[in-house]
Amino acid sequence: MPLNILIVDDSAAIRKILQRVLRQTDVPIGEVYEAGDGVEALELMKTQKVGLILSDINMPKMDGLQLLSKLKANESWKMVPIVMITTEGSQNKVVEAVNLGAAGYVRKPFTAEQIKDKLASVL
């Protein structure tokens, strides 16, 4: 069954790159939704069935860690795997994300192969 994916990043360029990388994977992809911040992402989650989320950490309005907390606190969404994709080099934030329930993380700059490998390990 095709997998619907949500990309959450305030950079339109990164959203576009991730869209392209996702289409190059062997994973059967359904719809790819985009959100510019955590608030938009939560709104989208209310109306769409999403099987995987790729999220930035540093974003306006609601950052990736806040989004992660809210998703993991929700019965309907807590099983959706979330991969953090971020320029955030601070080990504290990465550890916090993993403690909050992130399935993994990829640091920017990333290669297409790194994204593909991460998807393969998470799915």
Partner 1 sequence: MGAELMGNDIVKQYETVIHWVQEATKQVFATMLDLEIKCGAVRSDHRTSVQSAGIMTMVGMAGGVSGSGCLCFSKRFACRLASRFLMSEYREVDDDVLDAAAELGNMVVGGLKTFLEEKSGPMGLSVPTVVCGENYLTRTAPTGDRLVLDFTCGEGAEQERFTVTVCLITERKNRNYLNEMAEFHARLV
The residues of the shown chain that bind partner 1, judged by CB under 8 A, are: 10-14, 16-17, 20, 58, 60, 87-90, 92, 108-111
CA 11 – CA 36 distance, rounded (Å): 7
Which of 48, 111 has the CB closer to partner 1? 111
Q: Are 4 and 31 in contact (CB under 8 A)?
A: yes
Which of 103, 106 has the CB closer to partner 1? 106
- Closest contact distance (angstroms) between CB of 75 and partner 1 is 33
**∠ CA 72-115-83, rounded to 5°:** 10
- Closest contact distance (angstroms) between CB of 67 and partner 1 is 17
- Closest contact distance (angstroms) between CB of 61 and partner 1 is 11
* Residue 91 burial class via C-beta count within 10 angstroms: exposed 0-12, middle 13-18, buried 19 and up: exposed
